Amino acid sequence: MNFSILYRGPLSSCNYSCDYCPFAKTKNTRAELEDDKKKLRRFVNWTKENAQHHFGILFTPWGEALIRKYYQEAITELSHSENIRKVAIQTNLSCPTGWMKHCNPDKLALWTTFHPTQISRADFVKKCRQLFESGVRFSVGTVGFTDALPEIEKLREELPPEIYVWVNANKKTADYYSEENINRLLAVDPLFSWNLHAHQSLGESCRAGESVFSVDGDGNMTRCHFIKTRIGNIYDPSWEKALRRQACTNATCGCHIGYVHLDKLNLQPVYGDGLLERIPVDMGK
């Protein structure tokens, strides 16, 4: 079978301090990092032991994981595994990038986010250009705060046109965007309207829980990051039995990593092989 897994271990710390984020400048203890490393190792081993299946993996850490060598090593290793079709990670791109040259470029992908309050646009764009020239596949995105609009537009202008720039809508404030601002953000991200509103999902058919699922550091499976009911554990020999087609039980789904699996939106053909790293088929290298 072909599965997509969203993995989130116990790591919860970040080297950046975005003011809207609970992980801003949080730290893990040495013991917590050791625990996270051990659990990540177990997960990587599990993917190898389950060689009868093919996996696409997106790491969605609480905080920044790529500054940790053990994540760099795990991703490098996974990118060379035969039964891994894609290994991707959400990152602020503050990590060194030299290790990426040891990865299989056909399988590595990055979901990078630009945080204008934490790094200058010039430095971020420079790093993206280096990554682009080295052949790494990645998307770039940011939160569409209206006070950052000029910065977002300049980011789009300064990146090579082949790099997809996504914008996450600020959905916390009702009627946050004027029509003019929506149009400006659509000019940056032609797919912005998909993210602008949470999608009605109650009772709707969703691949999360069937071919896509979330896993925590202890192997606990949930159908997605947004429905917390445990459905099984990957370290049980019969873990596949936890997976079946079922309707969504949440009222709405507003995050790209969730709603892209909602059947009614039919977004699979839009993103194709770039679904996990958020690169539409008509963009990216």
Contact positions toward ligand SF4, by CB under 6 A?
14, 16-18, 21, 23-24, 63-64, 92, 115, 201, 206, 208, 223-224, 226-227, 248, 250, 253, 258-259, 261-262
CB of 19 to ligand SF4, least distance (A): 9
| Nearest distance, CB of residue 16 and ligand SF4, angstroms | 4
The rounded distance, in Å, linking the Cα atoms of 57 and 224 is 13
Q: Which residue has the tokens 């630009």?
A: 114
Give residue for tokens 């599965």.
3
Q: 52 or 173: whose CB is closer to ligand SF4? A: 173
Residue among 148, 194, 142 at smallest CA distance from 168: 142
Q: Min. distance of Cβ 53 from ligand SF4 in angstroms? A: 20
**Please, which residue, 107 or 243, has the CB nearer to ligand SF4?**
243
Whichever of 56 and 107 has its CB closer to ligand SF4, that residue is 56
Shortest Å, Cβ 116 to ligand SF4: 11
Considering the complex, what minimum distance in angstroms separates the CB of residue 90 from ligand SF4?
8
Residues in the chain: 285
Return the structure tokens found at 152. Answer: 């977002």
C-beta closer to ligand SF4: residue 81 or 214:
214
Q: How far is the CB of 248 from ligand SF4 (least distance, A)?
A: 3
Q: Which is nearer to ligand SF4, 95 or 208 (CB)?
A: 208
Which C-beta is closer to ligand SF4: that of 108 or that of 257?
Answer: 257
